[in-house]
């Protein structure tokens, strides 16, 4: 089965993509999510891709597993992913075109959403921490400052 990329119009046999074990596993992960969470996750994964390189299947799978471990509720996670993508794209439009390296920003955004469901685990600086930490950024961190500014802008202050 030949599929066309909607972005670049490249043609690829779907069977070729499924030859890679990590690609098959990633498709399985995506298929297990609610439809409302799939697109935000895929778009978020794209933020980890450098401007001149594709994202390897293995890395996309690893990143998606890390993201899904951040929160138990996939719909709340989708909301956090969407807000993160919006904020990072705004930064990129302002001239900061660097690819993301970790999930610190997403973790901080999830901490501000105030859901009834606590995050399952948080990933900070490449290490997994217990849920009691809740993935909150350090009070003096740049991420915390940026989130406070975003919240103030959101509320018109």
Per-residue confidence (pLDDT) for residue 136, from 0 to 100: 46
pTM, to two decimals: 0.69
Q: How far apart are CA 87 and CA 110, in angstroms?
A: 13
Is there a contact between 123 and 66 (Cβ–Cβ < 8 Å)?
yes
Per-residue confidence (pLDDT) for residue 16, from 0 to 100: 85
Q: Consecutive 10-residue runs of the chain (157 residues): their mean pLDDT?
A: 84 87 94 95 93 89 96 94 94 84 94 62 40 45 69 67
Per-residue confidence (pLDDT) for residue 46, from 0 to 100: 93
Tokens 């105030």 appear where? Answer: 114
Per-residue confidence (pLDDT) for residue 93, from 0 to 100: 85
Say which DSSP state 52 is in. T
Say which DSSP state 54 is in. P
Per-residue confidence (pLDDT) for residue 99, from 0 to 100: 86
Say which DSSP state 116 is in. S
Per-residue confidence (pLDDT) for residue 8, from 0 to 100: 79
Q: How far apart are CA 88 and CA 105, in angstroms?
A: 9
Per-residue confidence (pLDDT) for residue 156, from 0 to 100: 65
Per-residue confidence (pLDDT) for residue 97, from 0 to 100: 75
Task: State the helix-helix crossing angle for 35-46 and 21-31, rounded to 10 degrees.
Answer: 140
Q: Tally Cβ neighbours within 10 Å of residue 141.
A: 13
């Amino acid at each position: 089965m030949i599929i066309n990329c909607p972005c670049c119009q490249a043609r690829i046999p779907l069977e070729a993509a499924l030859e890679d074990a990590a690609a098959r596993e990633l498709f399985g992960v995506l298929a297990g999510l609610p439809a409302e969470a799939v697109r935000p996750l895929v778009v978020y994964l794209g933020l980890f891709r450098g401007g001149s390189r594709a994202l390897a299947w293995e890395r996309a799978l690893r990143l998606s597993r890390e993201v899904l471990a951040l929160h138990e509720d996939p719909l709340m996670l989708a909301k956090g992913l969407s807000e993160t993508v919006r904020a990072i794209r705004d930064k990129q439009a302002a001239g900061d075109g660097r690819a993301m390296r970790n999930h610190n920003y997403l973790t901080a955004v999830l901490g501000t959403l105030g859901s009834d469901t606590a995050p399952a685990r948080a990933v900070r600086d490449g290490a997994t921490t217990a849920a009691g930490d809740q993935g909150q950024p350090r009070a003096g961190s740049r991420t915390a400052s940026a989130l406070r500014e975003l919240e103030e802008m959101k509320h018109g202050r």
